[in-house]
Structure formats: structure tokens, C-alpha cells
A and B are shown apart, each in its own frame.
Chain A
């Protein structure tokens, strides 16, 4: 019999090793002195905010010595990023960012790793539910995990987003910084000067666009003999996407249809082509977001940066896993059946790659043993 390992002690030891051996340049952030940083530390509740650094070396030094469990920086630029008060901070602008997270997307694998427990009636089960199927309560406690399948679903959403950003908004894929969030999704950052001062209203409109929100058949079509046709026959914007789905559904790119038939094509097209971004993150111009190449304190995975091309043809998990050396013997009392790229079966005594064992430990699985081999 082993004994229950302490995630704080063990986690800190691994994180310390990582931050001590990392190349400081990995943490470089544009306009670093104008950004706010925030951290939470092992064994400490809450987050410490309003931290600023004069330069990269200072930041790297902090990571090396304070060993944060989570590290964030602001998408905003401030005159005085260390000030406590928003007014005093002096907002100067903010990157345009998108957050894609499988929390909001249905994936088949959730049955294998996610659990819910109803706080009202105590019912529980695998998978993910909005409300309790037994009593209807929305007070649900969730234990969520991530596997390769989830990450690939999220990656596909990012690629849809990239299509909008390139084809419609005219950004180049080289301007896009994509990072794995370290957990269940990705962040896409745009730092070009022209986006910095975009108002929240404009950012919201960009979100609506990539999510296909507000698409209305009445404005997309024009009346013609016998029904309605698309207002423009052009492979541009949502008109191009609708034409594509019209072709698939009814065999013509611009058929004469009733408004309600057009509505169902709009719906279909939104389901398939829209990118599932979390609007709150994009609209918020004072957001904190994970520092690239920092470690996620609930997974031990790296917030790994990717170019769009790499995203298309590299294994995300391979790039995100840090602790690939050695194995750990664990005794898993209760937990998911699959995480990352590792099958756990029904638990018990297992010998796992270090990164998988650490993930189980940090994310609160019931472990009774943790022995580095």
C-alpha cells in the first residue's frame, strides 16, 4: 500500500525542474513591460495580480524562483501595468484574442473521461450534461479530463477560425500566434497594431461573424420569381459558405427556395462552418490569458505555441507534454478511463508515463500511490 501523494509538493518539484531548465526566451512576450502578469502558486489559494516586469530576464527570474502553478499575462497593454486600479493602469490597447475550448463542444470521448455529480440529488454519471437528467437541477459538479480526441476536435475549430481570419478578415497566418491552452483548447492571438484599439463592439461583431450569429435569411436573400435566391452569387463571406451548403443539400449553389428552406441551409452551414469561440474572451479587452510556454497547473502540460502550419500536421500532445522521461507507478482508485494519449482501463495499479501520472495527480484523481521509476 502506498500513501496518497501531495499534489502541491510533487507538482512543485516537477514545475521547478521545468522552469529552472527552460530557456528564458521561451517566455518572451511582445511589449512585455506594458503587460500585466498574474500568477497563482502551489499551496496558495487565489491569484496574485497587478504584477509587472521590466523585461524578459525579470520575468524568467520570477518563474525560476517563485515556481507558479499558473501563469497569466494581459492581452491588454497598459501605461502602468502594475497599478492596482484600472483607471491608474491606463489602458492603451489590447490584442485580439480567441479562446476555443471543448468545454463548449460535444465530443464523443467525454463518455470516457468526464464525470458529473448532481449537487441536488446526488445522481452521477459519465459524460457531460447541462442539467441533471434525474431531477433537472443545474447545480452540477463536473470532473473533466482531456484526451487526444478532445484536442483534435478543438484543433479543427481553430482551423475553421483561421479560415475566417484569412479569407474574410485578410489577416495572414503568419500574424497568428496559436497556443495550446494547456488543458482543453487553444488560444489564438493577433497582435498587429491595427487591432489594438478595436472597440469592444467591433470585437463582438467579429465574434458574431466567426460564429455565424445573427445570420438572417431575410437579409441574405432577395426575392425572385417563385421564391428567394442568395443576394450575391460570389464565393465571398458567408455567401460563399451558404452557396457551398446549398450545393450539398439541394444540388445547386443558388437555388430558388422558400425563406424557411434558406433558414435551414443557414442553420446547417453555421453548424458545420462556424468556429466555436468563447465570445467573452474576445470581447473582453482586459483579459488575462495563459503565458506561452508556461505550465498549466491542473495538467502539467505546456502552453505550447504553434504556427498554423504546425497545427495542421503536428501532434499537439507530443509538443505539450513536458515530463516525458521515466515512468510512475500509481494506484488509481477512481478516475477517467482515458486521458491524453494513455488508456487507463478501470484503474488500479498502473505504470504510466510521468506526464500522465502527473496530470492525474494535479487534476484531482484519487491516487493512493505515486512512485517515480
Chain B
């Protein structure tokens, strides 16, 4: 079969997520208790090392020489993530693990690369002859779902697109694989059904330890990026948010999308519902009851209990709310940066600062869904 030809056992060390690897895990029919016991202890330790790397934001340990151990450790790492139960930690591991896989992929020959992509649900094919220098075509919908950015040369309008296919370089194909793997890992963890009752004590204690470490780490990050005692500062607002505030103050009719953007932004920087309402009071059609209901809804205090995250710059642009090119992806990112520039001591600089406020994932993650469901 094609699979067998394309992926060797050696490859499973690098790509422990392919279906062949998962089948292997299943066929072994092991329980967590088996893994926690002595001869298989390495697997658990390796899995924990992966999760710890995610906690610390460091490089994951290199793959084990033993492909079986690696495949099992990967599967167990996902189980540990599920048990810790914090999606931002899952995302962290997804990021560092996928980055490594991206590097492996970039070194493969094209047919193997495309095979791994297909395992991740990315429809792609190797071209018989290059098209404008591009060796690979990726199906446009796969491309859209896995593109690392929707700006610059990744933005679809800037690509060579032909009847459902986007032409990409080998490096770009590897990068698409990296992004697809991130989502794949998050989805897998989501799907795991965990029976905590039957979890062996040793594993349970391990999970507790990891959770505590992650909790401490989050607290540290929060303090670094949104130091307490810093008041929400209007000066640090990005231009788009400032513009909405000014429109409100000028008594202009501000569209629903802008109100949503503003409210979710203000809530995200730590304002209370009452403080947000004060800002909206300037609106010509201000109605305390309705406004409170809406703001509480956005804050996740009503309805589905889902806290809405503010729009990304991409969304703002599409909605016609972006008024500048700030070189950030998220208005919040602009805000945290500006705030630190204004007030924070130099402690937050250096290598971590370079990576920027994306380090505070719990603040900006998730899809921005404005409340919707109106008839079209």
C-alpha cells in the first residue's frame, strides 16, 4: 500500500500523529495503568516532558529513538492535556510540537510531504511540472483553513489561484502542514473522552503537578503583560478603538459591529460592565437597559455564557473599522504594547518581549463571533 511505501517506522518518530501511528497505539490495547507501571514508565515521562515544555514555552524534547515509545508518548501527552483541561496549554503544546514537525516536513521529499499533509486533512498534490516555480498545489479550501496568516503574501488575493488550487512552494506547504497540525492536535484533545475515576493515582498526581505549574506560569505571564495597578489608559488605545470612542462622543450613529468591537475590547482590558456602560452613555440613542443587556451578553454573563473575544485586525478591516496600519494582528496587541511602552519598567524587554503579547494567549484567543443570527 502507498502508506507503507511512504512512511517508514523511522518516520513515525517524526510524525506520531498519522493514522498509521494511532492505529498502532490502538492495537497495543494498553491502559493508562499499564503505562504508569514500570517497564513503560518512559512513555509517561516523555509525555510529561512534552507538556512541561509547553508550560515553559521551551523546545520539546527530541523524538525518542524508539518509534513505539514516541508514538505512545504523543498519544499520552494529548491525554494529559485533556486532563489538565486548559485549552491555552493545549494550544501551547500544539504550537511548539507543530513547529518542530514543520521543520521535519521542510526536509522531506515532496511526495512524503504531501502524504503527511493529507493525513492532516490538507488536500494537496505534487505538480508534474512546476507552475511559475511552484511545485505543489493545495486545494483552496485547505489553504484557507491552514494558512498561517491572512495578510501579506499569504493573503489569498495575492496568490496564484486556479480553479480551486493554490500554488505553493515546498516551504509554504510545510508551513501549511504546521498550521494544520496545530488544529489537528487541538481537535484530538477536544475529542478525547476521559474517565478520571479510573485514572491511576500516579497519573493523577502527575496531572495535578502539571496543572499547578501551568497555573503559576499563567499568573506570572499575566502580571508581566498587564501589570496590576495599571489603569485602563485611553492613550494606549489603538486608532480604530479611539475612532469609535470619538464617534460615540460626537453623537454619531455608530454601527452595531463597531459597538461590539468596542465593548469586547474594553471588557478584555479589564473594564467592568459598568465602566463600559459609562463609555456608551455618550451615544445618542443610549438606552441603559438595552445597552446593559448587550454588554453583559458580550461579557458572557448572559445567554450561552460565552465570553466574546474582540475582533482581530483582519476582522476589523473587513468590517471597515480599521483606520490605520499598526503592524499588529490584534487591537489588544497594540494596546498591551503601547501600555508597556508608557508605563512598565524595562523588565519586560528582552527575548520574551520580542515575542510580544502573543505570550498572553488567554487574553486574545478564540474566534471572534459577534452576536448574530439576523435574517439575511
Task: Please list the residues of chain A having a beta carbon within 8 angstroms of any beta carbon in chain B.
Answer: 38, 47, 70, 72, 75, 85-87, 97, 99, 138-139, 166-171, 187, 194-195, 198-202, 204-209, 212-216, 219-220, 232, 234, 236-239, 278-281, 283-284, 286-290
- Which 9 A/B pairs are nearest by Cβ-Cβ distance? A170-B164, A202-B144, A237-B161, A170-B163, A281-B376, A219-B158, A288-B375, A138-B253, A289-B376
| Cross-chain contact of B318 among A72, A232, A279, A289 (Cβ < 8 A) | A279
Q: Are A216 and B376 in contact (CB under 8 A)?
A: no
B355 at the interface (CB under 8 A from A): no
Q: Are A288 and B318 in contact (CB under 8 A)?
A: no
Please give the distance in Å from B210's CB to the nearest CB on chain A: 29
B232 at the interface (CB under 8 A from A): no
Q: A138-B252, A237-B162 are in contact. Are A208 and B372 (CB under 8 A)?
A: no
Please give the distance in Å from B216's CB to the nearest CB on chain A: 32
Bound complex: CA of A72 vs CA of B375, how far in Å?
7
Q: A169-B140, A170-B140, A201-B367 are in contact. Are A38 and B375 (CB under 8 A)?
A: yes
Residues of A close to B257: CB separation below 8 A: 280
Secondary structure dominating the interface of A: mixed
Residues of B close to A239: CB separation below 8 A: 160
Q: Are A288 and B376 in contact (CB under 8 A)?
A: yes
B159 at the interface (CB under 8 A from A): yes
Residues of B close to A199: CB separation below 8 A: 145, 367
Bound complex: CA of A306 vs CA of B354, how far in Å?
54
Binds A, one of B73-81, B146-154, B261-269: B146-154
Please give the distance in Å from A50's CB to the nearest CB on chain B: 10
Q: Are B367 and A205 in contact (CB under 8 A)?
A: no
Residues of A close to B171: CB separation below 8 A: none
Bound complex: CA of A194 vs CA of B319, how far in Å?
26
Contact sample, A vs B, 17 pairs, CB 8 Å cutoff: A86-B303, A86-B373, A166-B163, A167-B163, A168-B140, A169-B140, A169-B161, A202-B144, A204-B150, A204-B318, A208-B150, A208-B157, A213-B317, A219-B155, A238-B158, A287-B376, A288-B374
Secondary structure dominating the interface of B: loop
Please give the distance in Å from B154's CB to the nearest CB on chain A: 9
Residues of B close to A171: CB separation below 8 A: 164
| Cross-chain contact of B373 among A167, A220, A288 (Cβ < 8 A) | A288
Please give the distance in Å from B43's CB to the nearest CB on chain A: 33
Bound complex: CA of A279 vs CA of B303, how far in Å?
25
Q: Which residue of A lies closest to B155 (CB)?
A: A214
20 more A-B residue pairs beyond the given contacts A170-B163, A237-B160, with a C-beta to C-beta distance below 8 A? A86-B373, A99-B376, A187-B376, A195-B141, A198-B144, A199-B367, A200-B368, A204-B150, A209-B156, A214-B151, A214-B155, A215-B158, A236-B161, A238-B157, A279-B319, A284-B372, A287-B373, A287-B374, A287-B375, A287-B376
Residues of A close to B303: CB separation below 8 A: 85-86
Q: Are B141 and A194 in contact (CB under 8 A)?
A: yes
Residues of A close to B375: CB separation below 8 A: 38, 47, 70, 72, 287-290
Q: Are B304 and A86 in contact (CB under 8 A)?
A: yes
Q: Are B373 and A284 in contact (CB under 8 A)?
A: yes
Give the residues from 309 to 331 in chain B that come closer than 8 angstroms, CB to CB, to chain A: 314-315, 317-319
Q: Which residue of B lies closest to A289 (CB)?
A: B376
Please give the distance in Å from B325's CB to the nearest CB on chain A: 10
Please give the distance in Å from A21's CB to the nearest CB on chain B: 26
Bound complex: CA of A167 vs CA of B315, how far in Å?
26
| Cross-chain contact of B165 among A170, A206, A220, A288 (Cβ < 8 A) | A170
Residues of B close to A279: CB separation below 8 A: 318-319
Residues of A close to B315: CB separation below 8 A: 204
Please give the distance in Å from B353's CB to the nearest CB on chain A: 27
Q: Are B161 and A207 in contact (CB under 8 A)?
A: no
Residues of A close to B159: CB separation below 8 A: 237
Bound complex: CA of A215 vs CA of B373, how far in Å?
30
Bound complex: CA of A279 vs CA of B253, how far in Å?
20
Residues of B close to A168: CB separation below 8 A: 140, 161-164
Bound complex: CA of A209 vs CA of B151, how far in Å?
12
Q: Are A205 and B144 in contact (CB under 8 A)?
A: yes
B169 at the interface (CB under 8 A from A): no
Bound complex: CA of A138 vs CA of B165, how far in Å?
44
Give the residues from 29 to 63 in chain B that come closer than 8 angstroms, CB to CB, to chain A: none
Bound complex: CA of A204 vs CA of B375, how far in Å?
18
Residues of A close to B150: CB separation below 8 A: 201, 204-205, 208
Q: Of A169, A171, A195, A239, which is in contact with the most chain B CB atoms at under 10 Å from its CB?
A: A169
B3 at the interface (CB under 8 A from A): no
Give the residues from 162 to 219 in chain B that come closer than 8 angstroms, CB to CB, to chain A: 162-165
B369 at the interface (CB under 8 A from A): yes
Residues of B close to A216: CB separation below 8 A: 155, 158
Q: Are A208 and B318 in contact (CB under 8 A)?
A: yes
Bound complex: CA of A212 vs CA of B157, how far in Å?
7
Please give the distance in Å from B254's CB to the nearest CB on chain A: 10
Q: Of A200, A204, A212, which is in contact with the most chain B CB atoms at under 10 Å from its CB?
A: A204
Please give the distance in Å from A352's CB to the nearest CB on chain B: 29
Bound complex: CA of A138 vs CA of B253, how far in Å?
7
Q: Which residue of A lies closest to B131 (CB)?
A: A234
Bound complex: CA of A288 vs CA of B375, how far in Å?
5
| Cross-chain contact of B160 among A70, A187, A234, A287 (Cβ < 8 A) | A234
Please give the distance in Å from B310's CB to the nearest CB on chain A: 14
Please give the distance in Å from A224's CB to the nearest CB on chain B: 16
Q: Which residue of A lies closest to B372 (CB)?
A: A284
Please give the distance in Å from A30's CB to the nearest CB on chain B: 18
Q: A208-B318, A213-B157 are in contact. Are A202 and B141 (CB under 8 A)?
A: yes
Please give the distance in Å from B132's CB to the nearest CB on chain A: 5
Residues of A close to B165: CB separation below 8 A: 170
Q: Of B153, B160, B252, B303, which is in contact with the most chain A CB atoms at under 10 Å from its CB?
A: B160
| Cross-chain contact of A236 among B162, B306, B314, B369 (Cβ < 8 A) | B162
Q: Which residue of B lies closest to A233 (CB)?
A: B132
Q: Are A234 and B372 in contact (CB under 8 A)?
A: no
Residues of A close to B318: CB separation below 8 A: 204, 207-208, 213, 279, 283
Bound complex: CA of A205 vs CA of B159, how far in Å?
12
Bound complex: CA of A278 vs CA of B159, how far in Å?
23
Q: Are B369 and A200 in contact (CB under 8 A)?
A: yes
Q: A216-B158, A219-B155 are in contact. Are A287 and B372 (CB under 8 A)?
A: yes
Please give the distance in Å from A6's CB to the nearest CB on chain B: 25
Q: Which residue of A lies closest to B145 (CB)?
A: A202
Q: Are B160 and A236 in contact (CB under 8 A)?
A: yes
Residues of A close to B153: CB separation below 8 A: 219
Bound complex: CA of A284 vs CA of B375, how far in Å?
10
